[in-house]
Amino acid sequence: MVAAAAVVVTNEAMGPQSQRRLTLNGRTHQMQSNNNNRLPKKLKAGDQQTLFGCRAFDPNQDCIKCKGKLYGRNIHRAHHPLCWNNRNTRGIISTTTMESIEEDKRLKQHFAKPLRDNERFSSANATKEATVAFFTPRQLTVQQSTTTTTTTTTTMTATHDDKNAVIKPKDLCLAVTAKIATPSFVEEHRDRRAPLAMIAFAGAVMELMGRGKSNNLMDYFDGLTITVPDTKEIMSPQYHSIVGQKLLYVDWIKMFGLEVQCPWCPTGALVNDRTNFSKNKMLFPIFDIDGPPSWPMVQSMVCRCCRVRTYANTDTVICQLPAYARTSYPVEPKFALSNKNCHIGRTATQAFDLLMPTYGNGDLCSRLLVTQ
């Protein structure tokens, strides 16, 4: 029985190895029962491959109702959720995508209706005082760093405030070069998916700009993205190999000052816990067509009320954000799946949308991503 996997069998006439064997058998059968509804990963001749290596869904093979119609049988059962003949899911298993489709329908009906008289533009509130207040130039407050100079008989040194110090590309280059030259750092991160120089650059960014050392964090990031700068000087080959690549810091609270609501409870709010880089020194890849992959550091968020944990780059979180923050993450929200170890960039998915209806398969799309 499946329920026996969670119960430890104790028998005085049975040794500890036999007891563990019974528990292992129960867990094995439980895993087999959970895998019955999944698609087989072994490919046969003529099968289409997805981007993640498994076999693509085929209604004539995987949908019981469509398979029965193919052989002249009428099976009184609903279509598979991934089958495009299913009227409820339309072949889309993600609930977020279905909600997005329903929202598009509602907006189309809303904008198709003519405006009522009370909704038309009125100049009742456009007074002279309101016009002057709206077009009055606003004064911007600029924080200036304080510099103290100490002069001696032989040398002159300048000391800057650490929180407002200007970080130059040469500083990042020296920090990355120093990390790569450390044998322990190379040994620790030799099996990572990300390039070693990119991991060193992410660590240098967190040390120089993060942890409260820099108040002007937005001066170095464009939305969520920072590009590896060119020093215009002599640099190490490792640092030169990542010049122009992009590092993302997916933190909606720190980068945009937004309050993210919990998708599962109406009164809870998500708070930052830690990033995947600060815990395991992992970078989440985003593959695209126009260049090398981007490497985000993703913030892990926890709800204050229900204590549910989620990542900041999932579709359930991104759909709640305003447009200016949502577009800073280079992935369409409907493709920002939470159960994947990588994402496909916005330009790549737009190209795949044009290729898939005519001549598109997993092998072709994978070659477009890998060859870059």
**% of residues, the chain, pLDDT over 90:** 12
> Residue 271: which residues within 8 A CB-CB, separation 6 or more?
253, 301, 302, 303, 304
* C-alpha–C-alpha distance, residues 207 and 151, integer Å: 30
DSSP string, 303-362: ETTT--EEETTSHHHHTTS-HHHHTTSSS-GGG--TT-S-EE-HHHHHHHHHHHHHH--H
> Hey, how many other C-beta atoms are within 10 angstroms of the C-beta on 331?
22
Contact 293, 224 (CB under 8 A): no
pLDDT, tens digit, for every residue of 181-236?
A: 999 988 888 888 888 999 999 988 888 766 544 455 667 888 899 999 888 888 88
pLDDT, tens digit, for every residue of 311-337?
A: 999 988 998 888 889 999 999 988 888
**What mean pLDDT do residues 240-245 have?**
90
pLDDT bucket at 296, cuts 50 / 70 / 90: very high
> Hey, how many other C-beta atoms are within 10 angstroms of the C-beta on 235?
18
pLDDT bucket at 114, cuts 50 / 70 / 90: confident
Structure tokens at 185: 């750092």
Q: Is 24 helix (H, G, I), strand (E, B) or coil?
A: helix
Q: Is the pLDDT at 270 greater than 50, yes or no?
A: yes
pLDDT bucket at 48, cuts 50 / 70 / 90: confident
Lowest mean pLDDT segment, chosen from 24-28, 90-94, 343-347: 24-28
Give the pLDDT score at 164. Answer: 55
For 145, 194, 214, 247, 274, the CA distances from 163, given in Å and listed in that order, are: 9, 30, 4, 22, 22
pTM (whole model) above 0.85: no
Residue 311, φ and ψ in degrees, nearest 5: -100, 155
Residue 143 DSSP symbol:
P
Q: Is the pLDDT at 22 greater than 80, yes or no?
A: no
Residue 138 DSSP symbol:
P
Q: Is the pLDDT at 51 greater than 60, yes or no?
A: yes
* C-alpha–C-alpha distance, residues 88 and 17, integer Å: 50
Give the pLDDT score at 131. Answer: 80
* C-alpha–C-alpha distance, residues 32 and 97, integer Å: 30
pLDDT bucket at 153, cuts 50 / 70 / 90: very low
Give the pLDDT score at 331. Answer: 92
Structure tokens at 249: 């810091």
Amino acid at 233: E
**What mean pLDDT do residues 275-300 have?**
88
Strand pairing report for 295-303 and 309-311: antiparallel
**What mean pLDDT do residues 336-343 have?**
86
Show the CA angle centred on residue 176, arms to residues 170 and 180, nearest 5°. 145
* C-alpha–C-alpha distance, residues 39 and 37, integer Å: 7
Structure tokens at 110: 């809303």
Residue 156, φ and ψ in degrees, nearest 5: -135, 125
Residue 278 DSSP symbol:
H
**What mean pLDDT do residues 163-185 have?**
83
146 vs 26: which has the higher pLDDT: 26
Contact 302, 273 (CB under 8 A): yes
Lowest mean pLDDT segment, chosen from 5-19, 67-81, 131-145, 253-267: 5-19
